Structure 1
Amino acid sequence: MLTGLIAENVADPGKAAESAGEAWGRYLADRPPPTRRVDEAEGIRRLSTVLSDAGFAPDPSGSPEQPVIRLRHCPFREIAEERRDVVCGLHLGLMRGVLEEVRAPLTAERLEAFVEPSLCLAHLKPVGKRRR
C-alpha cells in the first residue's frame, strides 16, 4: 500500500525513495569516532552489518577495484517485484547513507535487482576523494 501511495503521489518515486533510504542509512550506521579512518574493508563490513540486521543475508565479494555485495535475501521481494523503483531505490539509498555516515571511501554505485530469483547485487565503487 505504501509503495503504491508513493508511486502514485510523488513526481519521482525512485529518487524520493533513494533520498529516504540515505537518511535512514545514516541513522542506522554505527558511526566511527571522528579520528578513526575507515578503509574499504571496514566500510564494507559496517554496511554488511546494517544489511544483515535488515535481513538481506549479505555476502561481500568482487575485487578491491569493483567490490560487490551479494544480497541473497530481500525481505521485501514480493513488493520489489512490483515496485522496483521504490523498493530498490530505498535500498540503494540506504547503502549510500551508511557508507557516507561511516566515512568509507566507497559509494553504492548501483543495485542490480534479481539477477537470480533470490539474489541482488550491490555494486560499490571507490570514491576518488576521502570523505570527511
Structure 2
Amino acid sequence: MEIEELVENLKRDAQRLKEEKIELIDFDRLEGNLMAASEKLKRMKEKEEVAEKILKDFKGEIKRMAGSLSRLKGEDSSSELIGKYLSNQNTGYEELCLLKRRLESEFNESFPNAPLSRSNYVFSKERRGKDRLEEYRV
C-alpha cells in the first residue's frame, strides 16, 4: 500500500470516528492500515537517521575544506564563519552544495597547480624506500 493511499484511508476512518459512524468502519482494515503506517514510519525513521549521518559527514567535509583553505591562505576568520553557517539547522542541501563548489573554486584559483576537484593525491614507495607524493589525474 502506498503512503498516499494509507494516509487517505486513515483520514477517512478518523472522519468516520469523528462523525460517530462507527458501523461504517472496517476495524480489520483499520488495524491493517495502522500496522502498515507503523512499519512505514519505522522505515522512514531509519532512513532519516542515515540521511542525518550523511549530512553530518558532508558538513564535516565542507568544514575541513574551509579550514584547510584558511590555513593555507593564513586567515582564520572565513573558516569560523563557515563553521557557524554549517551549524545552522536551516541550511539546505542546495546551499551546502553551492558552498562546496565555491570552496573548490577558491582553492583552484588560489592554487592553480593543484586543483582539488580534479586531482587525487596518494603516497607511494620509491625503490629506495623514500616516500614520494605522486599526483594522479582523475
Name the TM-score, length of structure 1 as normaliser: 0.28
RCO higher in 1 or 2 (8 Å CA, sep ≥ 6)?
1
* Bigger Rg, structure 1 or 2: 2
Q: Higher helix proportion, which one?
A: 2
**Higher strand residue share:** 1
